[in-house]
Chain A
Amino acid sequence: MNTEILGVIAMYAITILMAIPFGKYIAKVYAGEKTLLDPVFNPIENLFFRISSIDRKVEMNWKQHMVALLTINFVWFLLGMFVLMNQGWLPLNPDGNPGQSADLAFNTSISFVVNCNLQHYSGESGVSYLSQLFLMFLHFVSAGTGMAAAVVLFIALKEKTAEKLGNFYNLMVVSCTRILLPASILVATILAFNGMPMTFEGKDSIITMQGDTVGVSTGPVAAFIAIKHLGTNGGGFYGANSAHPLENPNYLTNMVEMFSQMIIPLAMIFSLGYFLKRKKMAWMIFGVMTVGFLVLCVPTIIWEVQGNPALAQMGVDMGAGAMEGKETRIGSAASGFWSIATTVISTGSVNAMHDSSMPLSGMMQMLSMMTNAFYGGCGAGILNFFIFIILAVFISGLMVGRTPEFLGKKIEGREMKIAMIVALLHPLLILAGTALAAAFPAITSANLNNPGFHGFSEMLYEYTSSAANNGSGFEGLGDNNPWWNITTGFVLILSRFIPIIGPVAIAGLLAKKKYIPESAGTLRTDSATFGMMVLAVIVIITALSFFPSLTLGPIAEYFSMR
Chain B
Amino acid sequence: MKTNIFPAIKLTIITLIFFSVVYPALIWAVAQLAPNSGHGEVVTANGKKYYSNIGQTFTEDQYFNSRPSAVGYNAAGSGGSNKGPSNPEYLSVVQARIDTFLVHNPGVSKKDIPVELVTASGSGLDPDISPKAALVQVKRIAAVRKVAEEKVKQIIDSNTEKPLLGLFGPEKVNVLSLNIALEKL
Query: Which of B120-128, B140-148, B152-160 interfaces with chain A?
Result: B120-128
Query: Which of A290-298, A348-356, A415-423, A500-508 interfaces with chain B?
Result: A348-356
Let me know if B115 and A7 touch, CB within 8 A: no
Let me know if A210 and B53 touch, CB within 8 A: no
Give the number of residue pairs across the A-B interface with Cβ within 8 Å.
Answer: 383
Measured in the bound complex, the distance between the Cα atoms of B167 and A237 in whole Å is 29
Let me know if B50 and A122 touch, CB within 8 A: no
Measured in the bound complex, the distance between the Cα atoms of B41 and A334 in whole Å is 24
A86, chain B: closest CB distance, angstroms = 16
Let me know if B81 and A314 touch, CB within 8 A: no
Measured in the bound complex, the distance between the Cα atoms of B84 and A312 in whole Å is 15
Contacting B74 at CB < 8 Å: which of A7, A141, A215, A474? A215
Let me know if B75 and A76 touch, CB within 8 A: no
Of A201, A215, A324, the most chain B CB neighbours within 10 A belong to: A324
Contacting A216 at CB < 8 Å: which of B75, B81, B122, B128? B75
Q: Map CB proximity to A onto B60-99 as digits: 1 under 8 Å, 0 otherwise.
A: 1001000100001111111111111111111100110010
Select from chain B the residue with minimum beta-carbon distance to A473: B82
Query: Which of A23-31, A247-255, A269-277, A364-372 interfaces with chain B?
Result: A247-255
Measured in the bound complex, the distance between the Cα atoms of B135 and A546 in whole Å is 46
Query: Which of A100-108, A156-164, A182-190 interfaces with chain B?
Result: A182-190
Q: Kindly list chain A residues whose C-beta atoms are within 8 Å of the C-beta of B172.
A: 328-329
Q: Kindly list chain A residues whose C-beta atoms are within 8 Å of the C-beta of B15.
A: 48, 137, 140-141, 173, 176
Measured in the bound complex, the distance between the Cα atoms of B86 and A452 in whole Å is 9
Select from chain B the residue with minimum beta-carbon distance to A245: B53
Let me know if A319 and B132 touch, CB within 8 A: yes
Asked if B107 is at the interface (CB within 8 A of a chain A CB), the reply is no
Q: Kindly list chain A residues whose C-beta atoms are within 8 Å of the C-beta of B76.
A: 124-125, 203, 214-217
Let me know if A356 and B112 touch, CB within 8 A: no
Select from chain A the residue with minimum beta-carbon distance to B12: A75
Q: How large is the interface on B (under 10, 10 to 19, 20 to 34, 35 or more residues)?
A: 35 or more
Let me know if B19 and A137 touch, CB within 8 A: yes
Measured in the bound complex, the distance between the Cα atoms of B46 and A209 in whole Å is 10
Q: Kindly list chain B residues whose C-beta atoms are within 8 Å of the C-beta of A310.
A: 85-86, 91
Let me know if A197 and B169 touch, CB within 8 A: no
Contacting B169 at CB < 8 Å: which of A4, A176, A317? A4
Asked if A326 is at the interface (CB within 8 A of a chain B CB), the reply is yes
Measured in the bound complex, the distance between the Cα atoms of B45 and A357 in whole Å is 37
Q: A79-B12, A215-B75, A476-B83 are in contact. Are A7 and B169 (CB under 8 A)?
A: yes
Q: Map CB proximity to B onto A232-245 as digits: 1 under 8 Å, 0 otherwise.
A: 00000011100111
The total of chain A residues at the interface (CB under 8 A) is: 124
Measured in the bound complex, the distance between the Cα atoms of B77 and A218 in whole Å is 11
Asked if A193 is at the interface (CB within 8 A of a chain B CB), the reply is yes
Q: Which residues of A contact B (CB under 8 A)?
A: 3-4, 6-7, 10-11, 44, 47-49, 51-54, 67-68, 71-72, 75-76, 79, 122, 124-125, 133-134, 136-137, 140-141, 169, 173, 176, 181, 184-185, 188-189, 192-193, 195-201, 203-204, 206-210, 212, 214-218, 220, 222-224, 226, 238-240, 243-246, 249-252, 254-255, 307-308, 310-311, 314-331, 334-335, 350-353, 355-359, 449-454, 457, 474-476, 557, 560-561
A-B contact pairs, 20 of them (CB 8 A): A7-B163, A11-B168, A122-B79, A198-B28, A206-B51, A210-B57, A215-B75, A215-B76, A240-B80, A320-B116, A323-B115, A325-B120, A327-B121, A328-B121, A328-B172, A356-B80, A356-B83, A449-B84, A450-B84, A450-B90
Q: Which residues of B contact A (CB under 8 A)?
A: 1, 4-12, 14-16, 18-21, 23-24, 26-28, 30-31, 34-35, 37-41, 45, 48-60, 63, 67, 72-91, 94-95, 98, 110-116, 118-130, 132, 163-164, 166-172, 176, 179-180, 183
